[in-house]
């Protein structure tokens, strides 16, 4: 599948960084060897500089074309990885989610990425069972469905807030039913009050909870996930404003947070479960995969989703390779045409008695300079494009997507440079085969 | 080694088959200054290119000091030019964006490291003698006369035994042309080089030892001057 796989297998005893560097060196090596063989004994650079300067705008345009195509490849790879890492990071706090049976993906989008969705509720007995399972350290209801402006208002517990943001950025944890802790990017200040709407987005009913006012008591640290836009309130409040029991028996009516009384537990669409040990999570998943409940690891769902899309990625990377081959062919044709611009100068050199290999090295160095400059500029363009798209994606989804350049991009660029620089031998040969006197007289 | 020129049965054809130049027999002693005259299109440039081993579609023998260029490979001919021939072209053919000094020292770019400094020094000397003081400037801004001097300096930089010059004074005014041809001939004679100069300019012939005339690809007159 990956043409580099055998190489990686052969050097897997090395530290990872050394592996990546080795692969890059192996990819670039053909270009370096060709360059050394072509250039040994000659210093064509003053002439090459003169040729570059002579047709600087044509050359600049050519460099730009190479740069854009390299940038596209680099940007795509970087972007795809950024998106994958960003969604994985956002799902990181959600070890195990338990919900009513249905689509894991729909449930994951709803509970982890806060994409609104109507889902059945889990009963108090089930919550109780989950919360009292051995070794469970956190069992938090996630009661979504209300909103304020563009922020989902989610009912949960103080433990859940602490799970997402171990320290608050400012303020304090809600200590009262009508207090709220907001995500880092919610446009409210400490002490501000607001009235939630029933439902989310266009379907929200703004007057449904008109008598309710939450006061912002604290703000979470940034998490790089849609939860940065969310407002977390005590789940008791969510239940109460919907006219339901508040999770506690009348004699404990003022209690906030667990334990909840199953008899007064109106239900929750999802429960986030966290345990110290991995095997506990697996045991819980098995235990709650029943005909009444569904238990899933969002990380696994995400991985499955990506491996499903892996086929798409495969197609995309084949397309990327085909594009690069087309670009390479274009580069080659362009170089043959460009070197014709210099036909008279090259003929002059040969008429003066320059060795064929010197003329060859002039043409090749000229081509290699354009290719190399284009590749370097292309990396910059790719990085810039990835950074730009990341910002757009982050703004649209609230999933923090960071654009970084990493080894796969450098490997792609290294392979591209090697291939084209070797193919640049062709225009050099063509330049040498031109008739000297005809070109001199032209 | 004395590089006398000896031509036998030289025939150069165009791709179409038309005979451009036919020289059954010609000898030129080393150290001689030979002028080549003739009407436009007669084949003078073709003759000069052939002497440098740059002729295509040619047959016969062109021997410099016994080395027949016609039997050599293109690469061996290039090597012969590199070591023994300096050329001045009909239009100057300089690298516009390089300095005068760099243009004149161009043969150093493809020579062994040890020779590069020698060539650069010689190029600088010739530029000095031809009155080009601003060798560091790029030749873009140079006048025709200045360009021609740089081209001559380039031809002499590698200290060749043979100098082939095609219209070295073309497009120059009378005074500049006279000065230039005088300087060129003086330097060539001082160093005992062979000079073969194509020209329309009678002032050039007067400084030559011998003048041949080419018409329609054939040598129609051969005049040894006493001077
Ligand atoms: N590459 C070529 N293919 C075919 N014919 C050519 C080629 N080069 C030159 N000729 C022809 O050869 C003939 C001689 O050309 P050449 O340039 O040698 O003349 P010349 O005597 O140097 O003229 P001028 O004084 O104008 O420079 C001309 O008829 C020209 O058209
Ligand atoms: Mg001519």
- pLDDT tens digits for range A234-243: 999 999 888 8
Report whether pLDDT(A1) > 70: no
pLDDT along chain B (227 residues), means of 10: 92 93 96 95 95 92 95 95 94 90 94 90 93 86 90 95 93 88 93 95 93 96 82
What's the pLDDT at A338? Answer: 83
Classify residue A2 as exposed, middle or buried by CB count within 10 Å of its CB (0-12, 13-18, 19+).
Answer: exposed
One domain for residues A418 and A338: yes
Looking at residues A424-439, what average pLDDT do you find?
90
Reported as a single tens digit per residue, the pLDDT across A125-169 is 999 998 888 888 999 999 988 889 889 999 999 999 999 999 999
Percentage above 70 pLDDT, chain A: 98
Distances (CA, A) of A171 to A102, A222, A257: 38, 14, 19
Give the span between the Cα atoms of A320 and A67, in whole angstroms: 15
Reported as a single tens digit per residue, the pLDDT across A169-195 is 999 999 998 999 999 999 999 999 999
Q: Provide the pLDDT confidence category of residue A244 given band limits of 50, 70 and 90.
A: confident
One domain for residues A162 and A275: yes
* A292 shares contact with chain B (CB less than 8 Å): no
Of B12, B13, B46, the one to substitute when testing ligand 1's pocket (max ligand atoms within 8 A of C-beta) is B46
What's the pLDDT at A2? Answer: 67
Q: Smallest Cβ distance to B82: which of A353, A435, A436? A: A353
Residue whose pair of structure tokens reads 């010689």 in the numeric block? B122
Nearest to A121 by CA among A249, A245, A232, A287: A245
Cβ–Cβ < 8 Å for B104, B128:
no
pLDDT, mean over chain A: 88
Report whether pLDDT(A433) > 80: yes
B44 lines ligand 1 (CB under 6 A): yes
SS3 A114: coil
Minimal CA separation from A316 to chain B, in Å: 45
Minimal CA separation from A45 to chain B, in Å: 9
Inter-chain touch A352–B107, beta carbons under 8 Å = yes
Q: Which residues contact A392 (CB under 8 A, 6 or more apart)?
A: none
Instruction: Using the atom order of ligand 1, give the atom closest to the CA of residue B90.
Output: 27
One domain for residues A107 and A78: no
Report whether pLDDT(A284) > 70: yes
How many domains, chain A?
Answer: 2
H-type alpha helices, B85-134: 100-104, 113-129
One domain for residues A218 and A254: yes
Classify residue A247 as exposed, middle or buried by CB count within 10 Å of its CB (0-12, 13-18, 19+).
Answer: buried
One domain for residues A227 and A246: yes
* B56 shares contact with chain A (CB less than 8 Å): yes
One domain for residues A213 and A106: yes
Looking at residues A303-309, what average pLDDT do you find?
82
One domain for residues A284 and A349: no
| Ligand nearest to the CA of residue B55, numbered in listed order | 1
Last residue of one domain, picked from the residues A275, A296, A317: A296
* B157 shares contact with chain A (CB less than 8 Å): no
One domain for residues A147 and A267: yes
Of the two residues B84 and A6, the one the predictor is more confident about is B84
CATH superfamily of B31-49+71-224: P-loop containing nucleotide triphosphate hydrolases (3.40.50.300)
One domain for residues A39 and A68: yes
Report whether pLDDT(A115) > 60: yes
SS3 A355: coil
Maximum average pLDDT range among A10-19, A252-261, B150-159: B150-159
What's the pLDDT at B183? Answer: 92
H-type alpha helices, A169-234: none
What's the pLDDT at B132? Answer: 87
Give phi and psi for B54, each to the nearest 5.
Answer: -105, 5
Give the span between the Cα atoms of B172 and B7, in whole angstroms: 32
Report whether pLDDT(A213) > 60: yes
Report whether pLDDT(A411) > 70: yes
Classify residue A374 as exposed, middle or buried by CB count within 10 Å of its CB (0-12, 13-18, 19+).
Answer: buried
Report whether pLDDT(A266) > 70: yes
Last residue of one domain, picked from the residues A263, A296, A329: A296
Cβ–Cβ < 8 Å for A378, A68:
yes
Poorest-confidence range of A97-101, A244-248, A370-374, B26-30? Answer: A244-248
Looking at residues A300-311, what average pLDDT do you find?
82
Poorest-confidence range of A74-88, A188-202, A304-318, B12-26? Answer: A304-318
Inter-chain touch B93–A440, beta carbons under 8 Å = yes
Last residue of one domain, picked from the residues A237, A262, A296: A296
Of B20, B50, B52, B90, the one to substitute when testing ligand 1's pocket (max ligand atoms within 8 A of C-beta) is B20
Of the two residues A215 and A3, the one the predictor is more confident about is A215
B45 lines ligand 1 (CB under 6 A): yes
The first and second tokens of residue B62, run together, are: 């062109």
**What is the domain extent for residue A320?**
5-90+304-441
Nearest to B208 by CA among B34, B30, B27, B26: B34
Report whether pLDDT(A77) > 90: no
Give phi and psi for B42, each to the nearest 5.
Answer: -75, -25
Reported as a single tens digit per residue, the pLDDT across A376-400 is 999 999 999 989 988 888 888 888 8
Q: Provide the pLDDT confidence category of residue A10 given band limits of 50, 70 and 90.
A: confident
Poorest-confidence range of A55-64, A108-117, A356-365? Answer: A108-117
């Amino acid at each position: 599948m990956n043409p580099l796989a055998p190489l990686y297998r052969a050097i897997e005893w090395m530290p990872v960084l050394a592996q990546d560097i080795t692969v890059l060196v192996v990819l670039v090596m053909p270009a370096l060897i060709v360059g050394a063989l072509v250039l040994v004994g000659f210093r064509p650079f003053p002439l090459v500089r003169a040729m570059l300067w002579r047709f600087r705008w044509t050359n600049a345009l050519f460099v730009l074309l190479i740069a854009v195509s390299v940038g596209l490849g680099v940007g795509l790879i970087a972007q795809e990885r950024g998106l994958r890492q960003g969604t994985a990071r956002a799902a990181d706090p959600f070890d195990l989610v338990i919900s009513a049976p249905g689509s894991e993906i729909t449930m994951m989008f709803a509970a982890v990425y806060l994409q609104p969705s109507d889902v059945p509720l889990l009963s108090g007995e089930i919550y109780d069972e989950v919360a009292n399972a051995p070794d469970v350290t956190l069992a938090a209801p996630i009661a979504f469905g209300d909103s304020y402006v563009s922020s989902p208002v989610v009912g949960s517990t103080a433990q859940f807030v602490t799970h997402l943001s171990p320290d608050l950025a400012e303020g304090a944890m809600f200590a009262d039913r009508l207090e709220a802790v907001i995500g880092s990017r919610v446009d409210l200040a400490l002490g501000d009050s607001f009235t939630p709407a029933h439902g989310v987005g266009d379907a929200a009913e703004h007057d449904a909870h008109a008598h309710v006012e939450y006061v912002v008591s604290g703000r979470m640290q940034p998490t790089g996930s849609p939860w940065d836009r969310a407002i977390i309130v005590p789940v008791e409040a969510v239940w109460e404003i919907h006219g339901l029991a508040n999770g506690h028996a009348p004699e404990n009516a003022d209690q906030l947070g667990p334990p909840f009384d199953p008899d007064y537990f109106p239900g929750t669409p999802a429960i986030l479960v966290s345990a110290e040990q991995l095997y506990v999570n697996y045991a819980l998943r098995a235990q709650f995969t029943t005909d009444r409940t569904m238990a899933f690891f969002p990380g696994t769902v995400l991985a499955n989703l990506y491996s499903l899309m892996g086929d798409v990625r495969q197609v995309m990377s084949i397309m990327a390779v085909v594009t690069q081959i087309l670009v390479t062919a274009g580069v080659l044709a362009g170089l043959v045409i460009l070197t014709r611009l210099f036909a008279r100068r090259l003929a002059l050199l040969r008429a003066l008695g320059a060795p064929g290999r010197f003329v060859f090295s002039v043409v090749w160095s000229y081509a290699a300079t354009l290719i190399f400059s284009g590749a370097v500029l292309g990396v910059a363009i790719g990085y810039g494009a990835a950074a730009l798209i990341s910002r757009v994606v982050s703004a649209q989804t609230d999933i923090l997507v960071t654009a970084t350049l990493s080894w796969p991009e450098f490997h792609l660029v290294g392979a591209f440079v090697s291939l084209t620089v070797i193919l640049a031998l062709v225009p050099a040969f063509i330049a040498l085969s031109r008739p000297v006197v005809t070109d001199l007289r032209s | 080694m004395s590089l006398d020129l000896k031509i036998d049965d030289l025939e150069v054809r165009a791709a179409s088959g038309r005979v451009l130049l036919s020289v059954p027999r010609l000898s030129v002693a080393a150290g001689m200054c030979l002028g080549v005259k003739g009407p436009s299109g007669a084949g003078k440039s073709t003759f000069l290119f052939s002497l440098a081993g740059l002729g295509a579609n040619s047959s016969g023998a062109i021997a410099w000091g016994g080395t027949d260029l016609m039997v050599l490979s293109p690469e061996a001919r290039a090597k012969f030019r590199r070591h023994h021939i300096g050329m001045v072209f009909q239009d100057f053919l300089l690298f516009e964006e390089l300095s005068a000094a760099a243009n004149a020292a161009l043969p150093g770019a493809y020579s062994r490291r040890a020779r590069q400094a020698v060539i650069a020094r010689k190029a600088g000397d010739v530029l000095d003698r031809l009155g080009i003081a601003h060798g560091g400037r790029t030749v873009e801004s140079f006048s025709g006369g200045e360009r021609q001097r740089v081209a001559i300096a380039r031809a002499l930089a590698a200290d060749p035994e043979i100098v082939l010059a095609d219209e070295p004074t073309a497009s120059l005014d009378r005074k500049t042309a006279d000065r230039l041809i005088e300087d060129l001939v003086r330097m060539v004679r001082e160093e005992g080089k062979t000079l073969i100069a194509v020209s329309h300019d009678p002032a050039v012939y007067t400084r030559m030892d011998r003048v041949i005339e080419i018409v329609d690809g054939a040598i129609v007159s051969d005049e040894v001057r006493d001077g």
